[in-house]
Chain A
Amino acid sequence: MLEVKNLKVNRGGKNILKAVSLSIKEGETHILMGPNGSGKSTLANALLGNPLYTVAGGKILLDKMPLVKLSPDKRAKLGLFLAFQYPVEVEGVSMRSFLRTVYIELKKSGENFNKNLVESLKLLNINENFMGRALNFGFSGGEKKKSEILQLALFSPKYAILDETDSGLDVASLRTVAEGISALKKTNPKLGILMITHNPRILKYLNADVVHIMFQGKIIKSGNAALVKEVEEKGYGDTKSKLIMMNSERIG
């Protein structure tokens, strides 16, 4: 289980996440939605320990292991993975050598690397000659997203956080990525997913167990997949007014 308990996160002295809590059981798919600036990416980055963010309070536990004091690489080794919203480009480091280095680091052996790589490339409809290119360098937005999911497929983490993996993709790419994630879930039913999305298109392909709405650094509502429809129809407006009401009730 991936547990986040009352997590408070700051960036540059400013408080962004107020007290976020959620729990993802193994095999569950959670969706996190919310308007721009609500703190979704902050949560994703803080979970992996991005040094730009400071945890000011609360806990993160992966299968009972506390993560807050651990460096990002140790968290990854415990089975946590983040598909970045804007994957950084690293010139001079080839895709293949990067993937291989990480694979060996995580699995302790290079056995089956090639086999798994070929399978993953096929699954995501990625051309082999990508492997000779520098890491994300000169990749289009869609190619970068695919590169993240390729890594998800290859590294088989326990919990994956997908930060707006669906945004900026054309219809065909979205389908490939979504189907890729579905397939991964099938082969590894224990994979827990936290999918951060700005719009619910991808849910045509994936089943959500729990949906959370984030607003101004807090999760203001959690529910089942029906919540998505509500947002689709009414936007965040209704939820926002609900929040205001909730707050005033507490004060009063």
Chain B
Amino acid sequence: MENFKADNYKYGFSYPEKPAYKLEKGLNEDTVKGISRIKNEPLWMLSYRLRAYKTFLSKKLPLWGADLSGLNFNDLYYYLKPSQSNADTWQSLPKDIKETYDRIGIPDAEQRYLAGVKAQYDSEIVYGSLLAELKKKGVIFLSMEEGLRKHPKIVREYFGKAIPASDNKFSALNSAVWSGGSFIYIPKNVKVELPLQAYFRINAKKMGQFERTLIIADEGSFVSYIEGCTAPIYSQDSLHAAVVEIFVKKNARVRYSTVQNWSRNVYNLVTKRAFVYEDAVMEWVDGNLGSKITMKYPSVYLMEKGARGVILSMALAGKNQFLDAGGKAVHLAENTSSQIISKSISKNGGGSNYRGLVKVCANAKNCKSSVVCDGLILDKKSYTNTFPVMDVAGKNAQVAHEASVGRVDEEQLFYLTSRGISEQEAVNMLVNGFIEPIAKEFPMEYALELNSLIALEMEGGVNA
């Protein structure tokens, strides 16, 4: 392991081609400066990072949610070039990950696994024409670093405006050490029909720990973005603290879909927020399968009249997993509407919670909100909690909230088994039926993989 020394710097770096190296473990001001230098960032971003670092130091861990005491900030790497990391070769993947791929029958698993790494080569050929089309229309789809370099004015205008560094300890951390992520700008009235996928972005590397994504959908535009993978992703890094900021301008629509299935050593602490403007629509579709601990509450801030936010969230927590997920809808203007549907499943001792907020501010008249959060506990060892909060002040508000928790329905189970379906298979069917309102919102191949992954999990899977 090479230590990063200030001397090396005088010979110059040109990003991104440099032999792999790692900064030392732990985080200090030098690490932050180093990251900024490697990326050749403008001064304002370096200052931003340094201020965020100070904020990170001053903020406390949240007292609610998951038990994060196992996190040792000094025992982590905060910047790692992936080209030499172990997990790049198929052979070195942990056995259980490989087995899962086999079991869910992903063809050319090795190929696909590495796609995230090879994408920059493949994508130019396969998606080259798609991206050329988009470019002609003025669509910008770059890594966050490139976005910062090529479109500094736009980035500066929006970066950190939805999620300031001070928002919470992990947004502060991300703001200090962010690396990777996407920068997307959709011009007025341009509708991108095909979903943009994170790993087909040119220069995309394997998903990083501190990704920073910024999406700006200008007036009347539409874009759908997919991040993540149903197949389990092994990560050596045990802390993932991403930040996603989205600005949906007047009459625009953005759909952001995520499926995360991080390996069971990962703490996945994500801050996602969308500012939704007049008559615009934001849809979060969130699937949580992996990680040891996830805390994630995609939010919609309905800033102007007629804005609408939809949050669809599902979580399946197995052995030793704790998934704390949900959504927040904040109504800041009149005639806004929100809908949250959350489905959580716990099995084998896992815990999956819903945590949510619907806030209707005093000046927000005529707002509507509906929340449905259901929990399914599959066995005696598991548990689930729902912690919704409703803070309703606006005149003429209509807010409805329903939550139910229970086990698989006996009557339904008997009906299915009486047809010849084994109990195991029947439970699978019912679990899939339970999450169907969310699963159906994912693109087809994700939905199918999601189903087989769940079936595998249900069976006792490889991680059980």
Which residues of A are in contact with B by a Cβ distance under 8 Å? 48-52, 71-73, 75-77, 81-82, 84, 87-88, 90-93, 98, 101-102, 105-106, 134-135, 151, 155
Contact = CB atoms under 8 A, between A and B. Distances in A.
A90 B410 CA distance: 12
Interface in B411-460: 411-412, 414-423, 425-426, 429-430, 432-437
- The 9 A-B residue pairs whose C-beta atoms are closest, nearest first, are A92-B433, A92-B436, A76-B420, A93-B433, A72-B417, A73-B417, A72-B418, A102-B419, A48-B418
B433 A134 contact: yes
A88 B411 contact: yes
B412 A88 contact: yes
Contacts of B432: 92-93
A73 B412 contact: no
Contacts of B420: 73, 76-77, 102, 105-106, 155
A92 B414 contact: no
B419 A84 contact: no
A50 to B, nearest CB: 5
Contacts of B436: 91-93
A87 B435 contact: no
Contacts of A77: 420
13 contacts: A48-B418, A73-B422, A76-B418, A77-B420, A90-B412, A90-B430, A91-B433, A92-B433, A102-B419, A105-B419, A106-B420, A155-B419, A155-B420
Contact of B430 (A71, A73, A93, A101): A93
A179 B423 CA distance: 33
Interface in B55-100: none
B192 to A, nearest CB: 29
A87 B415 contact: yes
Main secondary structure of the interface of B (DSSP, over half): helix
Given A50-B418, A71-B417, A92-B434, 6 more contacts: A72-B417, A73-B420, A73-B423, A91-B436, A93-B432, A155-B420
A2 B163 CA distance: 69
Contacts of B410: 51-52
Contacts of B416: 90, 98
Given A50-B414, A87-B415, A88-B415, A105 B433 contact: no
Contacts of B414: 48, 50-52, 72
A101 B421 contact: yes
A87 to B, nearest CB: 7
B411 A73 contact: no
A105 B417 CA distance: 11
Given A91-B433, A93-B433, A151 B415 contact: no
A77 B422 CA distance: 10
A198 to B, nearest CB: 22
Contacts of B412: 88, 90
B429 A101 contact: yes
Of B414, B416, B420, B425, chain A has the most CB atoms within 10 Å of the CB of B420
A127 B416 CA distance: 23
Nearest to B438: A92
Contacts of A71: 417, 422-423
Contact of B421 (A50, A51, A73, A82): A73
A51 B432 CA distance: 23
Nearest to A84: B415
Nearest to B434: A92
A151 B419 contact: yes
Contacts of A84: 415
Contacts of B417: 71-73, 76
A92 B435 contact: yes
Nearest to A137: B433
B408 to A, nearest CB: 11
Contacts of B418: 48-50, 72-73, 75-76, 82
Given A73-B417, A88-B412, A98 B422 contact: no
Nearest to A157: B420
A134 B423 CA distance: 20
A102 B420 CA distance: 7
B168 to A, nearest CB: 34
Interface in B378-414: 409-412, 414
A104 B166 CA distance: 56
Contact of B419 (A76, A91, A92): A76
Residue from the set A75, A87, A91 with the largest chain B CB neighbour count within 10 Å: A91
Interface string B259-301: 0000000000000000000000000000000000000000000
